Chains A and B, each alone.
Chain A
Amino acid sequence: MSMMFRPQLLALEARDVPAAFSFQLPDGTTGHGTFATPAGVDAAQASQALAVSDLTVVQNGLEYVVQPGATAHYAYGALLGVTATATGPGAPVVLANATVQVGGYVAPVAYDAADTQQSFTLLNGTTGTVSYQIPWELVDFDLASQTLSLANFNLNLAGSNFAFGTANYTVPPTVLFEFGEFKGVNVAINTTGPGFAYTSVVLTGINAVVTAVGGLQFFVAAPPDRTALVIDFSGAGNNPLGYEIRVRADTQAGNQADISFKVAANTSGGVLRDLIYTVLKDKGFDVERSGDARLIVQSKKKDDHLVRVRFDGDALQQLGAIKARGVNVGTVTPKLNIRGAE
């Protein structure tokens, strides 16, 4: 699953913010990955090898499966690199701290041990990660618009780090706030270098434009505003007996619906869809009918995400036939839950 460049303020304190790495092979393809810094990193120890359980590896836009034994190596608390093997559709990706081997290619790996704040994925699968620390003590929740400098900014892209103070920043990095709410990052970096595939990276708010050698520009695709569930009731009709159904729905910001009602015998899937459309609409959810028996459910507010829709009741076969296709936003995946099971 590719990641999108997106603001993360709501989950900033609670979420797991990973370290990141990337590489560029001699054939121009790129790889990247993340992992959470393992517990027990000790700045007093000359050498440490700590197991990593959540390493992700993506090569040429495709996710690889990390084999057991992934290890992060530290010297006096500083990350040296990761050793791991990941298998996938192509040749295995073998990380050996500062280098990676993929098939006949060996390339350097650039690590950013700082917590990743955002990432963006280009349409060719290349992913850049951005790390920085917001100076929260300077954020003014009363200001309609505020711009703060980010002296600890770093971009990790295709095997290179572009850190503030050493890289060529044509627009210095700043973070934007409106009434204390994060609105994105502004920065422009000249990334031209021998053998490097990209000449510039420009982040504006939550948009990114990356220019490749030769002038081709990649625009980073923005994620949708809200998660969505497309629920299909076509197989859930015509129960020979009436039954009671309980419908619950939750959004990330706390909007909830919890309604129970009787469904008459032989109600079709389309009519059941219409009944649920009415009750969720009454409870402030954004719902729309699609086709004969489908319902699209979203939160009413932009940037609030539908988390779950649950159906409970005693019409076992009918409820079990309800299906849903989910639209994700970032790490939020809306779920359909039928009598406690997904």
Chain B
Amino acid sequence: MTSLSMLVLAAILDTVPHEYVVDCGPAAVPFKYKMELELVARDGTSLSLPFITPADWDPKDSPGDFIILLRREGWVARSGPGNTFIVMRTLKGSPVRSVSVKSEADWPKVRWVPLPPAKEPKK
């Protein structure tokens, strides 16, 4: 795929209602690893949270940890199903534009999830 077509695809995907689901994984990673969570909002606000995680860190409470740490840095996230959380917007109200993770482990993973169309109210 050429860089131009990637740009076009990215522009199209950006118009589809979607959210970013960050999955902290089903089980603990058995080794110490570095990871970095990077967020960009539509108004250009951005944040990079670099972590060092010990071996066997239980992912069960991780979504709650991330939600607290993100709130302290001016971002709003909510918990999702399982060990996931969903990045929504900045505290100032700018919707999230991108979420990415760099990690030495397989986790966390970020999923781009299109939102179903809103139901029309019953007449």
Contacts and interface: CB of A to CB of B under 8 A. Distances in A.
B88 interface: no
Given A221-B39, A223-B48, A1 B34 contact: yes
Interface stretch (B15-23, B63-71, B105-113, B114-122): B63-71
Interface string B18-54: 0000000000000000101011100010111111111
B69 A296 contact: yes
Nearest to A326: B52
A326 B53 CA distance: 7
Interface in A287-342: 288, 290-294, 296, 298, 323-328, 333
B2 to A, nearest CB: 10
B9 interface: no
Interface in B60-83: 60-61, 64-65, 68-69, 72-73
Contacts of B51: 325-328
B39 A294 contact: no
A222 B68 contact: no
Interface residues of A, number: 37
A2 B36 contact: yes
Interface string A1-18: 110100000000000000
Contact of B49 (A224, A293, A333): A224
B1 interface: no
A294 B7 CA distance: 42
Contact of A221 (B4, B40, B52, B58): B40
Question: Which of A207, A230, A293, A328 has the most C-beta atoms of chain B within 10 angstroms of its own C-beta?
Answer: A230
Nearest to A333: B52
A225 interface: yes
A225 to B, nearest CB: 7
Nearest to A296: B68
A338 to B, nearest CB: 12
A244 B51 CA distance: 31
A123 interface: yes
A290 B7 contact: no
Nearest to B48: A221
A133 to B, nearest CB: 27
B47 A323 contact: no
What band does the interface of chain B fall in when counting residues whose beta carbon is under 8 Å from A?
20 to 34
A214 B47 contact: no
B56 to A, nearest CB: 8
Contact of B100 (A123, A215, A333): A123
Given A214-B4, A327-B69, A232 B58 contact: yes
A327 B46 contact: no
A230 B102 contact: no
Contacts of B4: 214
A138 interface: no
Nearest to A328: B50
A309 to B, nearest CB: 14
A185 interface: no
Contacts of A291: 60-61, 64-65
A46 interface: no
Nearest to A330: B50
Given A214-B7, A228-B69, A325 B57 contact: yes
A81 interface: no
Contacts of B46: 219-222
A207 B46 CA distance: 9
A224 B73 contact: yes
Contacts of A328: 50-52
B48 A4 contact: yes
A184 interface: no
B44 A209 contact: yes
Given A215-B7, A328-B52, 6 more contacts: A219-B46, A224-B47, A226-B72, A228-B72, A291-B60, A291-B61
Interface of B: 3-4, 7, 34, 36, 38-40, 44, 46-54, 56-58, 60-61, 64-65, 68-69, 72-73, 98, 100, 102
15 contacts: A4-B48, A123-B40, A214-B4, A216-B7, A219-B44, A220-B46, A221-B46, A222-B46, A222-B47, A223-B47, A225-B72, A323-B54, A325-B65, A327-B49, A328-B51
